[in-house]
Amino acid sequence: MGAAAMAFALWTRHLKHSPSAPGWPDRDRFVLSAGHGSMLLYALLHLSGYGVTLDDLRAFRQIDSRTAGHPEYGLLPGVEITTGPLGQGLGAAVGMAIAEAHLAARYNSDDLTVVDHFTYVIAGDGDLMEGVSSEAASLAGHLGLGKLIVLYDDNRISIEGSTELTFTEDREARFAAYDWQVQHVADGNDVDAVDRALAAAKAETRRPSLICVRTHIGFGSPAKQDTAAAHGAPLGEEEVRAAKEALGWPVEPAFLVPDDVLSFFRQASAEGAAAELAWRSRMARWRRLRPDLAAEWDRVARRELPDGWDQAVPSYGQHDGGVATRVAAGAALNVLAAALPELVGGSADLGPSNNTGIAGGGDLSSDHPAGRVLHFGVREHAMAAACNGMALHGDLRPFCGTFLVFADYLRPALRLAALMRLPVIYIFTHDSIGLGEDGPTHQPVEHLAMLRATPDVTVIRPADANEAVVAWKMALRADGPVCLALSRQKLPVIDRAVYAAADGLERGAYVLADTSDGEAPSLILIASGSEVQLALSAHRRLCAEGQAVRVVNMGSWEIFERQEAAYRERVLPARTPLRLAVEAGSTFGWERWVGLDGAVIGLDRFGASAPAPQLFEKFGITAEAVYARARELLASFGEDRSI
């Protein structure tokens, strides 16, 4: 109610959109970062002609309704992003603005513009309180994202009461320090004042803009205006009636949209449709003049990979010695980036460690928006949120990198990427205690379990350099978020002349080494990542003793679960209940694969600061420990053939 006037000014006088073509590439993006005000967006979509009906509005927050409690991407046309967790919408909007700037630099020419649109946000006090907004706003100011415009709904009320309780800094000075243009509208119901501020923001091309609009939460409600009671809870029938009477609005019917109001909004939408048609005309001319770029545009829009895209990826052999999977993944990225111009991303100040650079790609900056390497700085929250926005914008395939332990910092955005099934690639290096001397603060223990527990997230932990290359190819074929867990330390290249091919990883888990005589195994060793080497070493000793042992490389639980039942049974046959898993992290979750009769060698405590070999020895994650535990299991179930 308090933000209605500013939304009216934006949607009827400035927002370039076409309800008949909600996915029109050059539309302005609108992000309701203050997602608890979702009914405002739903009402705007109804009035503008997006096919949102009065029945949809009546079903607000009900089971199977398209009008969920917070906006959900994919439920309704016109909802650009899932919001609700405060600050995430603003962070993603920064990514949308990055995408617009980059694509404009790539596809526009001096005489023909096909990418030219704004990203608008309505944000509230909660958005600005959350730390992600500080990171995102700092990054946006640094990058000079002049087409990002944020309307700040400054109603000065949060759930616990007045923002005087907790939020008293000078927000305008804060954003000015981020190098934003800052304006102030004293009366949020002054539509013309908001209109002028929006026009001034659009005219400022060097800096993003914050428009602080002083509003009144629950405007018109006699008992609840300017109170926390109007925040996140219904007014109630009596107060709704009183508010309508106070505003001079008919009390009945409950849902009333006068014909002249509807006609006015539809006329504003018609102007957007005309802009869309003009763009399509320019696009047709651009296609004739730049058929090469047009073909690329179409392919990327369809999320297709070009012919031969993976033909030049590196391969590794015994002569290469030890290769860290982070290094192999970085080499693969550089080869793939040459074939896929849509690959754009970077690291949270860890590029040399994460190997996220693109040779010749150039740094994406305010002076060079065509660059493909983003330096996010030490801003994991904003990095992941921005990647969501880049993916939602379309025509880019974003990736971002940090240490696996710092997945904690970006998990809110990763979770939203999973909710929206966004194809963001996360490069998580330093994936175990193998990072050594940095100690327990930097050694991930619970992080693989945390990522695997998140629905619709695919985690891939390759066992050697060749699997790291395969993992990148898998990530690019995926239609949702993918996490690559990569080693800091060098790992031996598995001899594929002796063991199964690396592309077995494409099925999530595969038989890497089997029994020496091809018979059914008595024991299955299961491992991922660097610990596959430990399983192979134990396997060689056990087979030399005549034991019937198999090694299963389980690089991705999620992909293995998606395989047909017959394949899963071939890899992990039910008739072999003796199983031993090994992974240098939390054992949580491994019981689903080893069963009641199996065991897990892992790490259910925090690490320590020491060289990696000493740590693996200290915590009993060694080939000797795998061998000894395997012998114990075989003996306890009468399967030890050496007895």
- Residues taking part in catalysis: 380
Rounded to whole angstroms, what are the CA distances from 251 to 4, 43, 103, 244, 389? 19, 18, 49, 6, 41
Cβ 423 vs Cβ 490: under 8 Å: no
In 3-state terms, what secondary structure has residue 304? coil
Task: Tell me how crowded residue 176 is: count the other CB atoms within 10 A of its CB.
Answer: 15
Run of H or E including 466? helix 465-477
Cβ 460 vs Cβ 483: under 8 Å: yes
CA 421, CA 399: separation in Å to the nearest integer?
14
Run of H or E including 418? helix 407-420
Cβ 55 vs Cβ 42: under 8 Å: no
CA 219 to chain centre: 36
Residue 571 region by backbone torsions, left for phi larger than 0, else alpha for psi between -120 and 50, else beta: alpha
Q: Could you tell me the strand order of the sheet in which 509-513 lies?
A: 509-513, 549-554, 523-527, 579-582, 599-601
**3-class SS shares of the chain: helix, strand, coil, % to 5:** 45, 15, 40
Candidates 144, 207, 180; CA nearest to 368 is 144
CA 356, CA 375: separation in Å to the nearest integer?
10
CA 365, CA 373: separation in Å to the nearest integer?
9
The C-alpha torsion from 387 through 389 and 395 to 397, rounded to 10°, is 20
* Tokens, residue 592: 């689903």
Strands (E), 447-602: 458-460, 482-485, 491-492, 509-513, 523-527, 549-554, 579-582, 599-601
Run of H or E including 211? strand 209-214
327-350 exposure pattern, b = at least 16 Cβ within 10 A, e = fewer: bbbbbbbbbbbebbbbbbbbbbbb
* Tokens, residue 54: 């009065």
Run of H or E including 152? strand 148-154
In 3-state terms, what secondary structure has residue 401? strand
CA 286, CA 290: separation in Å to the nearest integer?
6
CA 541 to chain centre: 43
Task: Tell me how crowded residue 237 is: count the other CB atoms within 10 A of its CB.
Answer: 9
CA 254, CA 251: separation in Å to the nearest integer?
7
Cβ 443 vs Cβ 435: under 8 Å: yes
CB within 8 Å of 307: residues ≥ 6 apart: none
Distance between the two ends of the chain, CA-based, in angstroms? 79
Helix axes 380-393, 88-107, angle to 10 degrees: 60
CA 313, CA 195: separation in Å to the nearest integer?
52
Cβ 490 vs Cβ 324: under 8 Å: yes
Task: Tell me how crowded residue 592 is: count the other CB atoms within 10 A of its CB.
Answer: 9
